[in-house]
């Protein structure tokens, strides 16, 4: 039963975050908006991974397996945008 309660609480939190992200897109946040949007997306992902995917109960090895994808995407984006953003092309 405790597990069910945790899942339902997580679901509520996810929907709240969804409402927040939609609302944020209407707010005059300007250049900060992408950080807010993706920050919320990361928070949602963390909830799905930690609670729905049971990462809180899995061993370190399985957490690394999931984390590796994220880290490797970061390598791709950081080094690629290191090129794209420093080319000096007119935007």
Partner 1 sequence: MMGEVGRLQPQFPTLARQREADHFGMLIFLTTEVLIFGGLFAALFVLRAEHGAEYVKSSKAMHLWLGGLNTAVLLTSSAVVALMVEAVKAGGARLAKWLLSGAIALGLMFLAIKFTEYGLEYRDGLVPHLSPRNLHGGPDTLFMDLYFAATGLHALHVTAGLALLASLIWPFGAAPRDSSAVLAGNAALYWHLVDVIWVFLYPTLYLAR
Partner 2 sequence: MTEAKSQVNPRMSQEAIPDTAEERVSYLAEGHTLKSWLTTTDHKRIAILFLLSITFFFFCGGIAAALIRLDLLTPAPDLLSNDGYNRAFSLHGIIMVWFFLIPSIPTTFGNFLIPLMIGARDLAFPRLNLASWYIFVLGGLATLATVVLGGVDTGWTFYTPFSSTYSNGAVFMALTAVFISGFSSILTGINFIVTVHKLRCPGMTWGRLPLFVWAHFATAIIFVLATPVLTIALVLVALERVFGIGIFDPRLGGDPLLFQHLFWFYSHPAVYIMILPAMGVVSELITNAAHKQIFGYWFVAGSAIAIAVIGFMVWGHHMFVSGQSAYASAIFSFLSIVVAVPSAIKVYNWTATLHKGDIVIDGPLLYALGFIGLFTVGGLTGLMLAMLAIDVHVTDTYFVVAHFHFIMVGGSVSAFFGALHFWWPKVTGRLYNDVWARLSAILIFCGFVMTFAPQFLLGYEGMPRRYHVYPAVFQPLNVMSSVGASILAVAYLLPFTYLFWSLRYGKPAGPNPWGATGLEWTTPSPPPKHNFETVPIVDKQAYCYPVGGRGEQSRPRTQKADDDG
Binding site for partner 2 (CB under 8 A): 61, 68-69, 72, 75-76, 79-80, 82-84, 86-88
Q: What's the rounded Cα separation, in Å, for the pair 35 and 84?
A: 19
Pick one of partner 1, partner 2, none as the site partner of residue 70 (Cβ within 5 to 8 A by kind).
partner 1
Instruction: Pick what 23 binds: partner 1, partner 2, none; C-beta below 5 to 8 Å, kind-dependent.
Output: none
Q: Return the percent helix, strand and coil in the chain, to nearest 5.
A: 85, 0, 15
Taking residues 27 to 56 in sequence order and writing x for each that binds partner 1 by CB under 8 A, - otherwise, the string is --x---xx--xx-xx--xx--xx-xxxx--
Residues 3 and 48 sit within 8 Å (Cβ to Cβ): no
Tokens of 85: 């953003």
């Amino acid at each position: 039963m405790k597990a069910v309660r945790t899942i339902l609480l997580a679901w509520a939190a996810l929907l709240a975050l969804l409402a927040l992200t939609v609302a944020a897109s209407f707010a005059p946040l300007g250049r900060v908006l992408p950080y807010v949007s993706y920050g919320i997306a990361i928070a949602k992902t963390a909830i799905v991974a930690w609670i729905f995917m049971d990462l809180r109960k899995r061993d370190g090895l399985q957490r690394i397996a999931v984390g590796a994808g994220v880290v490797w995407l970061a390598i791709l984006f950081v080094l690629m945008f290191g090129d794209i953003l420093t080319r000096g092309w007119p935007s």
